[in-house]
Amino acid sequence: MTPAPPGRRPGIGIALGRVAVALTVAFGALAAGAGYWQVIRSGELSSAPDDAAVIAAGRHVVRGEITDRDGQRLAWSLLDANGEPYRKYLSSSLSGVLGYASRAFGSAGLERAYDAQLTGVTSADPVQDLVKKFRADPSDPQAIQTTLVAQLQEAAVRALGADRGAVVMLDPRTGEVLVLASTPVFDASAVANPDTAMRTFESLQGDLAKPLLPRATQGRYVPGSVFKIVTAIAALGSGAVSADTTFAEQPSAEKDGLLVSGYRVRDGHHPATGSKALDFVGATEVSCNIWYALAGLETGGDALVEWSGKLGFGEPIPFDLRTAVSQVTGGGGSFGGGFKDAVELANAAYGQAETVVTPLQMALVTSTVANDGVLMRPHLVQALTGQAGTRTVDPEVWRRVLPPEIAREIALAMRQAVGGRLGRQFTTGAQVKGLTVAGKSGTAELGGTGEPNSWFIGFAPAEDPEIVIAVVVEQGGRGAERAAPIGGDLLAAWKAWAGR
Amino acid sequence: MDGTVIAIWVLRLLFLAGLYAFLWAVVRVLLRDLRAAAREPGAELGRLVVVASPSGEPAVGAGFSLDAVTTLGRDVNATILLDDEFVSGLHAALTYRGRTWYVEDLGSTNGTFVNGSPVEEIALVAFGDELQLGNVRLRLERARR
Amino acid sequence: MSLALAGMPHLRLRPRLRRRELGLLVIVALALPLGSASLAATRALGAGTNQPAGGLLLADGVALAWYLGGLFVAHLVLVLSGRRTDQVLLPTVGLLGGISLLLMERLPQGLAGGLGLGRTQLVWLLVSIGLIAVIGALVRSDAWLRLYKYSWAAFGVGLLLVTFAFGHDVNGQRLTLSVGPVTGQPSELLKVILVVFLAGYLSENRPLLIDESTRLGPLRLPPLPYLAPMIAMWALALSIVVVQRDLGAALLFFVVFLLLLYVVTARVSFVVLGLVALLAGGALLYELVPHVRVRVDIWLDPFATASGSGYQVVQALHAFARGGILGTGLGAGLPTIGGAPPIPALHTDFPFAALGEELGLVGIMGILGLYLVVIERGLRIAASAVDDFRAILAAGLSLVIGVQAFIIAAGNLKLIPLTGITLPFISYGGSSLLTNGLVVGLLIALSDRGVEVPRAPSEPHGFGRLRDRGAA
The closest alpha carbon to A340, from A326, A325, A354, A356, belongs to A354
Name all chains with 3 or more CB-CB pairs below 8 Å to chain C: A, B
pLDDT in the model for residue C467? 31
B1 and A134 in contact by Cβ < 8 A? yes
Q: What is the pLDDT of residues C2-17, one digit of tens each?
A: 334 443 444 456 788 8
Q: What is the pLDDT of residues C174-225, one digit of tens each?
A: 666 666 556 677 778 888 888 888 888 887 777 776 666 666 666 666 666 6
Least confident interval from A204-208, A273-277, A366-370: A273-277
* Residue A208 near chain C (CB below 8 Å): no
The answer to whether residues A91 and A154 touch, using CB atoms and an 8 Å cutoff, is yes
Q: What is the pLDDT of residues B59-93, one digit of tens each?
A: 777 777 787 778 888 887 777 888 888 888 888 88
State which residue of chain A sits closest to C261, comparing Cα positions: A15
- C461 pLDDT higher than 50: no
φ/ψ of B48, rounded to 5, equals: -120, 120
- Residues of chain B above pLDDT 90, percent: 12
Note if the bond before B58 is cis, omega within 30 degrees: yes
C83 plus C130 within the same structural domain: yes
Strands (DSSP E) found in A150-191 = 165-170, 177-183
Residue in A1, A8, A134 nearest the CB of B5:
A134
Asked if the structure places residue C466 within a domain, the reply is no
Q: What's the average model confidence in pLDDT over C106-128?
A: 84
Residue in A4, A14, A56 nearest the CB of C388:
A4
Radius of gyration for chain B, computed over Cα atoms and rounded to the nearest angstrom: 25
* Residue A40 near chain C (CB below 8 Å): no
3-state secondary structure chain B: CCHHHHHHHHHHHHHHHHHHHHHHHHHHHHHHHHHHHHHCCCCCCEEEEEEECCCCCCCCCCEEEECCEEEEECCCCCCEECCCCCCCCCCEEEEEECCEEEEEECCCCCCEEECCEECCCEEEECCCCEEEECCEEEEEECCCC
pLDDT in the model for residue C306? 78
Compute the nearest-CA separation of C24 from chain B (Å): 7
The answer to whether residues A230 and A240 touch, using CB atoms and an 8 Å cutoff, is no
C199 plus C73 within the same structural domain: no
Asked if the structure places residue C353 within a domain, the reply is no
The SS3 assignment for A392 reads strand
Between vectors from CA C29 to CA C23 and to CA C32, what angle results, nearest 5°?
A: 135
C193 plus C283 within the same structural domain: yes
Q: Under 8 Å CB-to-CB from A92, ≥6 apart: which residues?
A: A157, A185, A186, A187, A188, A189
Bigger pLDDT: C44 vs C366: C366
The answer to whether residues B22 and C95 touch, using CB atoms and an 8 Å cutoff, is yes
Least confident interval from B136-140, C68-72, C197-201, C204-208: C204-208
* H-helix or E-strand spanning residue A497: helix A483-498
pLDDT in the model for residue C49? 46
Residue A497: Cβ within 10 Å count: 15
The closest alpha carbon to B105, from B114, B96, B97, belongs to B114
For the ranges A419-428, C87-96, C445-454, the maximum mean pLDDT occurs at: C87-96
pLDDT in the model for residue C46? 67
- C268 pLDDT higher than 60: yes
Note if the bond before B54 is cis, omega within 30 degrees: no
The answer to whether residues C274 and C258 touch, using CB atoms and an 8 Å cutoff, is yes
- A36 pLDDT higher than 70: yes
CA pair distance C303, C276, nearest whole angstrom = 29
- Per-residue burial over A128-161, b if 16 or more Cβ lie within 10 Å, else e, is bbebbeeeeebbbbbbbbbbbbbbbbbbbbebbe
The closest alpha carbon to B50, from B60, B37, B38, belongs to B60
The answer to whether residues C99 and C35 touch, using CB atoms and an 8 Å cutoff, is yes
φ/ψ of B104, rounded to 5, equals: -120, 130
pLDDT in the model for residue A194? 85
- Residues of chain C above pLDDT 70, percent: 80
- A212 pLDDT higher than 80: yes
C210 plus C268 within the same structural domain: yes
Compute the nearest-CA separation of A116 from chain C (Å): 12
C189 plus C252 within the same structural domain: yes
Name all chains with 3 or more CB-CB pairs below 8 Å to chain B: A, C
Q: How far from the centroid of its chain's Cα atoms is residue A78's Cα?
A: 32
State which residue of chain B sits closest to A6, comparing Cα positions: B65
Question: Directed axis angle between helix C19-45 and helix C89-106, to 10°?
Answer: 10
- C288 pLDDT higher than 90: no
ipTM computed for the complex: 0.88
Residue in A13, A17, A45 nearest the CB of C318:
A45
Total of domains in chain C = 2
Identify all chain A residues contacting C372, using CB atoms and an 8 Å cutoff.
23-24, 27
Largest CA distance in chain C: 83
Q: What's the average model confidence in pLDDT over C13-32?
A: 89
State which residue of chain C sits closest to A53, comparing Cα positions: C335
> Of the candidates C288, C309, C339, which is a domain's last residue?
C288
Asked if the structure places residue C133 within a domain, the reply is yes
pLDDT in the model for residue A423? 86
The answer to whether residues A483 and A476 touch, using CB atoms and an 8 Å cutoff, is yes
Count, in order, helices (H) and strands (E) of chain C. 16, 5
Residue in C366, C386, C463 nearest the CB of B20:
C366
C337 and A6 in contact by Cβ < 8 A? no
CA pair distance A235, A296, nearest whole angstrom = 7
C65 plus C106 within the same structural domain: yes
The closest alpha carbon to C57, from C104, C121, C105, belongs to C105
Residue in C9, C10, C23 nearest the CB of B25:
C23
- A388 pLDDT higher than 90: no
> Of the candidates C138, C170, C189, which is a domain's last residue?
C138
Q: How far from the centroid of its chain's Cα atoms is residue C366's Cα?
A: 17
- C24 pLDDT higher than 90: yes
Asked if the structure places residue C226 within a domain, the reply is yes
pLDDT in the model for residue A373? 94
pLDDT in the model for residue A75? 93
pLDDT in the model for residue C217? 61
CA pair distance B85, B74, nearest whole angstrom = 8
Q: Can you give the residue range of the structural domain that contains C150? A: 142-288
pLDDT in the model for residue C433? 93
CA pair distance C252, C111, nearest whole angstrom = 27
Identify all chain A residues contacting B58, using CB atoms and an 8 Å cutoff.
2
Q: What's the average model confidence in pLDDT over C381-403?
A: 88
C147 plus C284 within the same structural domain: yes
Bigger pLDDT: C387 vs A233: A233
Note if the bond before A184 is cis, omega within 30 degrees: yes
* Residue A21 near chain C (CB below 8 Å): no
Mean model confidence pLDDT for chain B: 82
Identify all chain C residues contacting A7, using CB atoms and an 8 Å cutoff.
none
Identify all chain A residues contacting B42, using CB atoms and an 8 Å cutoff.
7, 13
Residue B84, judged by CB atoms within 10 A of its CB (0-12, 13-18, 19+), counts as buried
C133 plus C149 within the same structural domain: no
C125 plus C192 within the same structural domain: no
> Of the candidates C111, C138, C165, which is a domain's last residue?
C138
A1 and B64 in contact by Cβ < 8 A? no
Q: What is the pLDDT of residues A162-206, one digit of tens each?
A: 999 999 999 999 999 999 999 999 999 999 988 888 888 888 888
Between vectors from CA C368 to CA C367 and to CA C372, what angle results, nearest 5°?
A: 120
Q: What is the pLDDT of residues A389-406, one digit of tens each?
A: 888 999 999 999 999 999
Q: What is the pLDDT of residues A69-100, one digit of tens each?
A: 999 999 999 888 877 888 999 999 999 999 99
Mean model confidence pLDDT for chain A: 88
B93 and C451 in contact by Cβ < 8 A? yes
CA pair distance A495, C295, nearest whole angstrom = 59
Q: Under 8 Å CB-to-CB from B35, ≥6 apart: which residues?
A: none
CA pair distance A380, A323, nearest whole angstrom = 13
B112 φψ region: left (φ > 0), alpha (ψ -120 to 50), beta (else): beta
| Confidence label for C472 from pLDDT (cuts 50, 70 and 90) | very low
The answer to whether residues C393 and C195 touch, using CB atoms and an 8 Å cutoff, is yes
Bigger pLDDT: C133 vs C224: C133
| Confidence label for A144 from pLDDT (cuts 50, 70 and 90) | very high
Bigger pLDDT: A83 vs B145: A83
Strand pairing class (A258-260; C173-179): unpaired
Strand pairing class (C173-179; A106-108): unpaired
Asked if the structure places residue C159 within a domain, the reply is yes
Asked if the structure places residue C417 within a domain, the reply is no
The answer to whether residues A116 and A49 touch, using CB atoms and an 8 Å cutoff, is yes
Compute the nearest-CA separation of B115 from chain A (Å): 25
Q: What's the average model confidence in pLDDT over C275-301?
A: 86
The closest alpha carbon to A139, from A129, A148, A152, belongs to A129
Mean model confidence pLDDT for chain C: 80
pLDDT in the model for residue A61? 84
State which residue of chain A sits closest to B78, comparing Cα positions: A3
pLDDT in the model for residue C218? 64
For the ranges A14-18, A57-61, A368-372, C112-116, the maximum mean pLDDT occurs at: A368-372
Q: What is the pLDDT of residues A106-130, one digit of tens each?
A: 889 999 999 889 988 887 676 777 7
Q: What's the average model confidence in pLDDT over C437-441?
A: 95
Residue in C95, C456, C472 nearest the CB of B22:
C95
C151 plus C250 within the same structural domain: yes
- C466 pLDDT higher than 70: no
C119 plus C26 within the same structural domain: yes
Q: How far from the centroid of its chain's Cα atoms is residue A226's Cα?
A: 16
- A4 pLDDT higher than 70: no
CA pair distance C303, C311, nearest whole angstrom = 8
C78 plus C154 within the same structural domain: no
C356 and A34 in contact by Cβ < 8 A? yes
Asked if the structure places residue C243 within a domain, the reply is yes
- A260 pLDDT higher than 90: no
C463 and B122 in contact by Cβ < 8 A? yes
C264 and A34 in contact by Cβ < 8 A? no
* Residue B67 near chain A (CB below 8 Å): yes
The answer to whether residues A85 and A79 touch, using CB atoms and an 8 Å cutoff, is yes
Asked if the structure places residue C355 within a domain, the reply is no
Least confident interval from A359-368, A384-393, B114-123, C225-234: C225-234
pLDDT in the model for residue A413? 94
* Residue B23 near chain A (CB below 8 Å): no
- Residues of A contacting chain B (CB within 8 angstroms): 1-3, 5-8, 13, 134-136
| Confidence label for C100 from pLDDT (cuts 50, 70 and 90) | very high
